[in-house]
């Protein structure tokens, strides 16, 4: 009979301790430590000895073969790019996102597109009928993709041995449970034990694994932080479920840059890759509206133009409302304070609403200038010409700070037929802005840009 062991686990960071404590000494969280029971004797290792890794031996770097990790293409250029050039053998990727954002759709599409590989898609959330229905919407077929509706890790291992997949997809890690732990699926122990056992399988068989993980209300991955430490790559799928655009971001990647993003559009027949991100803006832009300004933004290494929309109105109640979609609320408050203090605009008693087109979140600070331009445009009820765009970070003193990759932004604006771009007055060494045909106005202070825009 298996011997049970009691451990005390922190539900915040996943650290374990031999005794209960009020405060986790690792992450500092109070009241997060709970008792859990683990049967160490029936670990997956003993169940399936073929998954136990060989004993490793220390080597000199000169003895290590310097082969480039072989990348496995996922059939989708956007996903490949975010992964850093495709999946790495034996690596584990965690794909997180809010419910309904399209995680299952993305991995199912990947499974269907990778016709050159044998794939095992395990769903603990949906029945095989539901998966089939979804696959029919997406269209396309992979004769080597196997589907399994299962939540027991031991049974999944059984199937891995039989099918010998070249890619394993698990939807989702929170639904799995192993006999090793007593607690219910989704608990810290289960998530941790399952992920660790899966990692061992991935490394032993050289098979990549994509795990889907849920996100909690605070926007972090549900389950212990330890999950993020176990996996090699953490991808977040974000967007507004009421809009069609989705962004795939990498927040951790042992095999690539985390600056890359992928863009998708959710359609009735699945996710479509957005290869020209500026279409987010161009399909929606109308002329002559006040409160609209266009930013020349960069996410990852890709420049694109995006519309920022603001609505400023007199506060109906005592406390003015501030609300944003796709933009940090604290940053908006900071920009409003700059406008008030440095540029003398009275907006403290006004409601301010701010939207980024397409419902996507843009992290690039260079959209600041367009945000404040949109706010002023709405406040003054004066529109900004639709052939003008802006790029610049705004500092606390009302100064326009330099932005990275300025030339790329200008190039994108010119390519899309813009006639004027307002940029910070800082010459990066080696840049020659004279080669552009578009009119480039350099500004040092927010007031200068307002003079250019509104006279
Ligand atoms: P889903 O992949 O189930 O999201 P998650 O796994 O992240 O919870 O997708 C959820 C939404 O996507 C669902 O509300 C329906 C929509 N959808 C489409 O619009 N088109 C499609 O082709 C598919 C498959 C889903
Ligand atoms: Mg799902």
Both 292 and 432 in one domain: the answer is: yes
Measured in angstroms, how far is the CA atom of residue 174 from the centroid of ligand 2? Answer: 11
Same domain, 441 and 308: yes
Query: Based on the domain organization, do 78 and 14 belong to the same domain?
Result: no
Give the ligand 1 atom nearest the CA of 106.
2
pLDDT of residue 68: 64
Q: Residue 350 has what pLDDT?
A: 92
> Are 23 and 113 found together in one domain?
no
Q: What is the pLDDT along the chain (455 residues), one digit of tens a residue?
A: 456 778 888 877 777 888 898 988 888 888 888 887 776 654 445 445 556 556 778 888 888 776 666 789 999 999 999 999 999 999 999 999 888 899 999 999 999 999 989 999 999 999 999 999 999 999 888 999 999 999 999 999 999 999 999 999 999 899 999 988 888 887 888 888 899 999 999 988 999 999 999 876 555 665 657 788 889 999 999 887 777 888 898 889 998 888 788 889 999 999 999 888 777 666 555 677 899 999 999 887 778 899 999 999 988 778 899 999 889 999 999 999 999 998 888 888 899 999 988 777 888 999 999 999 999 999 999 999 888 999 999 999 999 999 988 988 998 899 888 999 999 998 666 677 888 999 999 999 999 999 999 88
C-alpha distances out from residue 445 to 237, 334, 375, 420, 450, Å: 36, 16, 16, 18, 9
Any domain includes 63: no
Q: Output the pLDDT for position 272.
A: 93
The count of structural domains within the chain is: 3
Q: Which atom of ligand 1 is nearest to the CA of 270?
A: 22
Residues 148 and 243 in one domain: yes
Q: Residue 42's pLDDT is what?
A: 47
Residue 16's domain comprises 4-41
Domain shared by 240 and 287, yes or no: no
Which residues, judged by CB distance below 6 Å to any ligand atom, belong to the binding site of ligand 1?
A: 97, 99-105, 134, 137-138, 266, 268-270
Ligand 1 center to residue 122 CA distance, Å? 17
Which CATH number is 426's domain given? 3.30.230.10
Over its C-alpha atoms, the chain yields an Rg (Å, rounded) of: 26
Please state the atom number of ligand 1 nearest to the C-alpha of residue 108: 2
Task: Compute the Cα dihedral for 327, 330, 332, 334 and give only its sign.
Answer: negative
Which residues are found with C-beta within 5 Å of the ion, ligand 2?
Answer: 104
Cα–Cα distance between 89 and 173 in angstroms, integer?
20
Q: How far apart are CA 93 and CA 210, in angstroms?
A: 5
Tell me how far the alpha carbon of residue 449 is from its chain's centroid.
Answer: 33
- Is 172 found in the same domain as 260? yes
Q: 446: buried, middle or exposed (CB in 10 Å: 19+, 13-18, 0-12)?
A: buried
Q: Which of 106, 237, 266 to mutate to test the pocket of ligand 1 (most atoms within 8 A of CB)?
A: 266
CA of 106 to the centre of ligand 1 (A): 9
């Amino acid at each position: 009979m298996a011997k049970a062991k009691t451990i005390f686990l922190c539900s915040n960071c996943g650290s374990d301790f031999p005794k209960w404590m009020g405060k986790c000494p690792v992450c500092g969280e109070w009241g997060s430590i709970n008792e859990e029971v683990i049967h160490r004797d029936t670990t997956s290792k003993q169940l399936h000895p073929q998954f136990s890794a060989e004993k490793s031996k220390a080597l000199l770097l000169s003895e290590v073969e310097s082969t480039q990790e072989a990348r496995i293409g996922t059939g989708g250029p956007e996903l490949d790019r975010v992964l850093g050039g495709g999946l790495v053998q034996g690596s584990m990727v965690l794909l997180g996102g809010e419910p309904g954002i399209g995680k299952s759709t993305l991995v199912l599409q990947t499974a269907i597109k990778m016709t050159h590989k044998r794939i095992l898609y395990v769903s603990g959330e949906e029945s095989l009928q539901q998966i089939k229905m979804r696959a029919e919407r997406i269209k396309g077929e992979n004769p080597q993709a196997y589907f399994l509706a299962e939540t027991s890790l031991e049974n999944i291992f059984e199937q891995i041995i039989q099918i010998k997949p070249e890619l394993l997809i698990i939807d989702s890690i929170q639904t799995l449970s192993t006999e090793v732990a007593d607690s219910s699926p989704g608990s810290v122990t289960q998530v941790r034990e399952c992920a660790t056992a899966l990692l061992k399988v991935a490394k032993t068989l050289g098979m990549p694994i994509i795990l889907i993980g849920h996100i909690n209300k605070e926007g972090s991955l549900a389950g212990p932080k330890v999950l993020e430490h176990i996996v090699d790559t953490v991808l977040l799928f974000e967007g507004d479920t009421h809009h069609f655009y989705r962004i795939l971001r990498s927040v951790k990647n042992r095999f690539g840059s985390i600056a890359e993003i992928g863009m998708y559009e959710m359609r009735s027949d699945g996710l479509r890759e957005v290869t020209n991100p500026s279409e987010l803006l161009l399909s929606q832009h109308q002329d002559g509206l006040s409160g609209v300004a266009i930013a020349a933004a960069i996410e990852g290494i890709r420049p694109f133009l995006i519309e920022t929309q603001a609505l400023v109105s007199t506060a109906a109640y005592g406390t003015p409302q501030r609300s944003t979609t796709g933009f940090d609320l604290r940053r908006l408050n900071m920009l409003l304070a700059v406008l008030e203090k440095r540029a003398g605009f009275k907006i403290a008693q006004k409601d301010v609403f701010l939207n980024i087109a397409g419902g996507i979140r843009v992290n690039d600070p260079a959209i600041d200038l367009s945000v404040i331009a949109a706010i002023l445009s709405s406040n003054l009820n004066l529109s900004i010409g639709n052939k003008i765009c802006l790029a610049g970070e705004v500092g606390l003193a009302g100064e326009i700070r330099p932005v990275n990759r300025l030339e790329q932004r200008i190039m994108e604006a010119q390519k899309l037929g813009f006639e004027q771009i307002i940029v910070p007055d800082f010459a990066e060494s080696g840049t020659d802005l004279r080669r552009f045909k578009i009119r480039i106005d350099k500004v040092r202070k927010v007031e200068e840009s307002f003079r250019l825009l509104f006279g």
